[in-house]
C-alpha cells in the first residue's frame, strides 16, 4: 500500500513542507496536514506589523550573521531554497508580487500579511493536500499509521495563534533533546522605568548591552520606548543575549547613545561652544541635543546635569534591565530541538527514521528583518522534500 506522510502544524514551515511534499510525490492526497486552527498560517497575519516581512534579501554571508545559535546548520536548507528563490516562488507560483524596503526587507507588494497566508493555503489546497483544520495532534503515538511525520509546530511565542510548544513534547517523546527555551526579540524592562518614556520613538541611536559590566553587543539604528520597555529594532537585536543573561541571574545594563555619530570629544566641543562651562544647564539649551519629549525623562534620570557632564550623559544613558516580556508578546522562541540530532541535509531526525523537523520548533531563530520566516520556508521545503522521498 502507498504510504502517506503527516505534517503537524500549518504555519509557514508546515505549509511549505506540504507544498514540497505534494510536488515531490506528484500526489497531494498522500500528504495530511494537521492544524489546530480553522485556517492555516494564523501567525503570519500578525507578522511584520500586519505587513509580513517574508524574507531578507541580504546575501548568505550577511544573512547568516542574523541566525542563532548555529548559522552553519541552516546553510544547506538555505542554499536549496534561498531568499531569491523564495521571492521568485511567491511572485511566479503563488501570484504574490513583492517589494523590497529598507534594510533589504521583503514584503508582499500589497503590504497585507494575509495575502501571504492565503496564497500559501490556496496552494496547499490546490495541490490536493488533505488538510485537517481544527485538529490538535495530542501525541506522536497517534500518528503511527503514517510512513513519515514532519513536526512543524512552531515555538511558544504568541500562544493565541496556536503555537503552544507541543512539538517540544513530541520531540522528547521520540528521545530528542530540547535545549533550554527562552523568549527572544522581546521588550526589555528597565528598573524604575520613567513614565514619560513610553511612546517615544528613537531614530538612529546607539545601544550597548553589558552583561555583568562587560560590553557584549553594540547596535545602531531605531527602537521604541513602549509601555513594556525598550522594544523593536535594535532593542530586539539585543534582547536574545539580554534575556538569556537575565534567565541565568546575571546583571544586565543597556547604555543608550543619543549621539552615535559624534565622538565624546566632538560632542563636548559642541556643548562648550553653546554653553558657558560649569553652568547648570537650562532646559531650553537641551533642545538642541534632545527631542522635546525626551527632555523631562532625561533630566529626571540625570540629576545635577551641567555642561561638563552633558556629553557623557548623552552618550551613556544607562538603563539597568530587570525584566523582559514573556512568550505572550515575544516575536520568537529561542532554543528548541537540538540541532545535533537533526541532519542539516534532510531535516531528518538522527534518532528516529521517518521523523523530520522544520521551522521554529528547531533550536534555530533569527533577528527581526525577515530571517525567521526564511528559516521556516527553507527548512520546511527541505523537510517536505526529504519526507516525500522517504516514503516514495
Q: Which residues bind ligand FAD (CB under 6 A)?
A: 8-14, 34-37, 42-43, 46-48, 52-53, 136-137, 152-154, 157-158, 162-163, 166, 331-332, 359-360, 370-373, 376
Question: Residue 166 or 253: which CB sits closer to ligand FAD?
Answer: 166
Residue 202 CB, nearest distance to ligand FAD (Å)? 20
CB neighbourhood size of 310 (10 A): 22
The three three-digit cell numbers of residue 133, written as one number: 483544520
Our CB check for ligand FAD shows the closer of 4 and 53 to be 53
CB closer to ligand FAD out of 110 and 306 = 110
CA distance 144 to 6: 10
Exposure letters 15-46 (e unless 16+ CB within 10 A, then b): bbbbbbbbbbbebbebbbbbbbbeebbbbbbe
Measured from the CB atom, the residue of 183 and 206 that comes closer to ligand FAD is 183
State the nearest-atom distance from the C-beta of 10 to ligand FAD, in Å. Answer: 5
Spatial separation of the C-alpha atoms in residues 90 and 92, rounded to whole Å: 6
Please list the alpha-helical segments (H only) found in 248-317: 264-274, 283-286, 292-301, 310-315
Tell me the pairing of strands 31-34 and 130-132.
Answer: parallel
Residue placing its CB nearer to ligand FAD in the complex, 53 or 307? 53
Which residues make beta-bridge pairs with 7?
33, 150
- The closest of 103, 93, 174, 99 to 126, measured between CA atoms, is 93
d(CA 233, CA 246): 20
Please state the closest distance from residue 98 (CB atom) to ligand FAD, in A.
13
Instruction: Report how far residue 89's alpha carbon sits from residue 104's, in angstroms, rounded to the nearest whole number.
Output: 18
- Residue 84 or 312 having the CB closest to ligand FAD: 84
Question: CB of residue 113 vs ligand FAD: minimum separation in angstroms?
Answer: 8
The number of beta carbons lying within 10 Å of the beta carbon of residue 156 is 25
Given a contact cutoff of 8 angstroms between Cβ atoms, the answer to whether 314 and 259 are in contact is: yes
**Least distance between ligand FAD and beta carbon 106 (Å):** 9
Sign of CA dihedral 120, 121, 123, 124: positive
Between residues 46 and 264, which has the closer beta carbon with respect to ligand FAD?
46
What's the min distance (Å) between Cβ of 196 and ligand FAD?
Answer: 26
In the complex with ligand FAD, the residue whose CB is nearer, 66 or 315, is 66
Count of CB atoms situated within 10 Å of the CB of 230: 28
DSSP run (H or E) holding 334: strand 332-334
How far is Cα 341 from Cα 176, in angstroms, rounded to an integer? 7
User: Cα separation of 210 and 272, whole Å?
Assistant: 30
Rounded least distance, CB 238 to ligand FAD, Å: 17
Give the burial class of 116: count Cβ atoms within 10 A of its Cβ; 0-12 exposed, 13-18 middle, 19 or more buried.
buried
C-alpha radius of gyration, the chain, whole number? 24
Cell of 130: 488533505
Specify the residue, 28 or 155, whose C-beta has the smaller distance to ligand FAD. 155
Task: Tell me how far, at minimum, the Cβ of 356 lies from ligand FAD, in Å.
Answer: 13
Q: How far is the CB of 379 from ligand FAD (least distance, A)?
A: 8
Residue closer to ligand FAD, measured from CB, 167 or 206: 167
Distance in Å, CB of 85 to ligand FAD, minimum: 16
Amino acid at each position: 500500500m502507498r504510504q502517506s506522510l503527516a505534517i503537524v502544524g500549518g504555519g509557514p514551515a508546515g505549509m511549505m513542507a506540504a507544498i514540497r511534499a505534494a510536488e515531490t510525490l506528484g500526489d497531494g492526497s498522500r500528504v495530511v496536514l494537521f492544524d489546530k486552527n480553522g485556517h492555516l498560517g494564523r501567525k503570519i497575519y500578525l507578522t511584520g506589523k500586519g505587513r509580513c516581512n517574508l524574507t531578507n534579501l541580504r546575501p548568505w554571508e550577511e544573512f547568516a550573521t542574523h541566525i542563532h545559535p548555529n548559522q552553519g546548520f541552516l546553510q544547506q536548507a538555505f542554499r536549496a531554497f534561498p531568499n531569491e528563490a523564495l521571492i521568485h516562488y511567491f511572485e511566479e507560483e503563488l501570484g504574490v508580487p513583492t517589494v523590497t524596503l529598507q534594510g533589504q526587507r521583503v514584503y508582499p507588494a500589497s503590504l497585507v500579511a494575509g495575502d501571504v497566508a492565503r496564497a500559501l493555503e490556496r496552494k496547499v489546497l490546490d495541490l490536493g493536500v488533505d488538510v485537517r483544520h481544527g485538529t490538535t495532534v495530542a501525541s506522536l503515538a497517534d500518528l503511527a499509521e503514517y510512513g513519515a511525520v514532519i513536526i512543524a509546530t512552531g515555538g511558544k511565542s504568541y500562544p493565541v495563534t496556536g503555537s503552544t510548544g507541543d512539538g517540544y513534547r513530541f520531540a522528547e517523546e521520540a528521545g530528542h533533546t530540547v535545549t533550554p527555551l527562552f523568549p527572544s526579540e522581546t521588550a526589555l524592562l528597565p528598573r524604575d522605568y520613567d513614565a514619560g518614556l513610553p511612546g517615544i520613538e528613537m531614530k538612529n541611536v546607539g545601544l550597548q548591552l553589558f552583561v555583568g559590566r562587560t560590553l557584549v553587543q553594540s547596535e545602531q539604528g531605531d527602537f521604541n520606548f513602549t509601555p513594556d520597555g525598550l522594544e523593536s529594532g535594535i532593542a530586539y537585536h539585543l534582547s536574545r543575549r539580554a534575556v538569556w543573561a537575565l534567565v541565568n541571574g546575571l546583571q544586565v545594563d543597556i547604555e543608550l547613545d543619543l549621539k552615535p555619530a559624534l565622538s565624546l570629544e566632538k560632542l563636548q566641543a559642541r556643548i562648550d561652544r553653546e554653553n558657558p562651562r560649569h553652568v547648570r544647564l537650562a532646559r531650553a539649551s537641551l533642545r538642541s541635543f534632545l527631542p522635546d519629549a525626551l527632555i523631562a525623562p532625561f533630566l529626571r534620570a540625570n540629576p545635577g546635569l551641567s555642561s561638563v557632564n552633558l556629553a557623557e550623559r548623552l552618550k551613556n544613558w544607562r538603563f539597568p534591565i530587570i525584566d523582559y516580556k514573556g512568550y505572550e508578546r515575544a516575536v520568537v522562541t529561542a532554543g528548541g530541538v537540538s540541532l545535533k540530532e537533526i541532519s542539516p541535509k534532510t531535516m531528518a531526525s538522527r534518532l528516529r527514521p521517518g521523523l523530520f523537523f522544520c521551522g521554529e520548533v528547531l533550536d534555530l531563530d533569527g533577528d527581526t528583518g525577515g530571517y525567521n520566516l526564511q528559516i521556516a520556508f527553507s527548512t520546511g521545503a527541505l523537510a517536505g522534500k526529504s519526507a516525500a522521498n522517504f516514503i516514495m
